[in-house]
Structure 1
């Protein structure tokens, strides 16, 4: 926890001096030595990896990245995404989501990611339409760690007294940065996580 809080101090100091060093930030977050800035975003840290699964029935990502941290927020697991979706995650996490947290007297220090790229149908159902996860367009978030040390989950805290309202605000705040936002109110498949993806709809963002 102290390392993650230190990362925010690093971000502030680097911003102040005009030098955003991925190496220093990665060290503050205790990340592997080979991570660096990705997707032309200095404070989004990860790895550029080989193309994934092209020719696998529509699955795959060109120029994928493996994301370790966004704006000082560490990811508890590292999703493989395309840069468009990685940038949406960075934007939401560091702006809308962090503002919700600060309004509630805390700072998000870590996000629990439970899914990124996966070659499968929607909701893991056989014969279903291909999921946005299969294109690197989606990431699933199941929980958060805050600067006060509290760890919350979508499943355990959505209706909780202390963090229930905040969890609902975090869910709502993702609508806009992402084209699709699903959570516990959408269906039983999403009772334990937020599904966030960058699919485009003519009618605008789809959020439930």
Structure 2
């Protein structure tokens, strides 16, 4: 695991903060001791993996958004688009899902490895489902990630939108297998069967409760 230089961290932080669309200026977070302990334990587990990550400074915002105990996933085995800040305690099961589930399921079900995963992102300072007046999304806490598509060796692209209920039974089986595997790692997993908001992606987070749909 390689740490970034101060300049690289500052650049990444600037990109991260721009996701709040000119909202309140960030301030350093005073995280609860239990969270700090969980973060240390998480980083120790990450250090056992053959991955590259960059720790990010803690930040909170006056409107309730935060990115505390977050890391940037640099190289985790399969390239993934649009990843920003993600809490270590969410990033760890995500990396395990990518490395242990996605690759195996693709080979088993589709006969080819996944060479790229397309995401809709991680940290985003917004309410749930972008609905005005709704509670803060777990994305607003850097505690969630949305997965939209998988690109196979050779260029075939499997998308949640077109293939979840598409004509190819192998593509359907693959998407459902990785979805169900995610349910064993994350507290909340939402896909097209959950509601119309998730018709084009799978949402994973480590929020309160347990729900898989």
Aligned pair partner of 1:184 in 173, 192, 195: 192
Match of 2:91 in 1: 86
TM-score by length of 2: 0.72
Q: Tell me how large the CA RMSD over aligned residues is.
A: 2.2
Q: Distance in 1 between matches of 2:114 and 2:134?
A: 35
- Residue 100 of structure 1 deviates from its aligned partner by 1.6
Aligned pair partner of 2:134 in 128, 134, 144: 128
Alignment of structure 1 residues 185-200 onto 2, 5 Å: 185-200=193-208
Match of 1:7 in 2: none
* SS of residue matched to 1:74: coil
Assess, with a 3 A threshold, how the Cα gap between structure 1 residues 125 and 168 changes in structure 2: closer, same or farther.
same
> Structure 1 residue 167 and structure 2 residue 163: aligned?
no
Aligned length: 170
Q: Distance in 2 between matches of 1:150 and 1:197?
A: 27
Match of 2:72 in 1: 66
Runs (4+) of structure 1 moved beyond 4 Å?
none
The structure in which a higher percent of residues are strand is: 1
TM-score by length of 1: 0.74
- Residue 187 of structure 1 deviates from its aligned partner by 0.6
Q: Distance in 1 between matches of 2:138 and 2:146?
A: 11
Assess, with a 3 A threshold, how the Cα gap between structure 1 residues 41 and 121 changes in structure 2: closer, same or farther.
farther
Match of 1:51 in 2: 58
Q: Which runs of 5+ in 2 are unaligned?
A: 3-11, 13-42
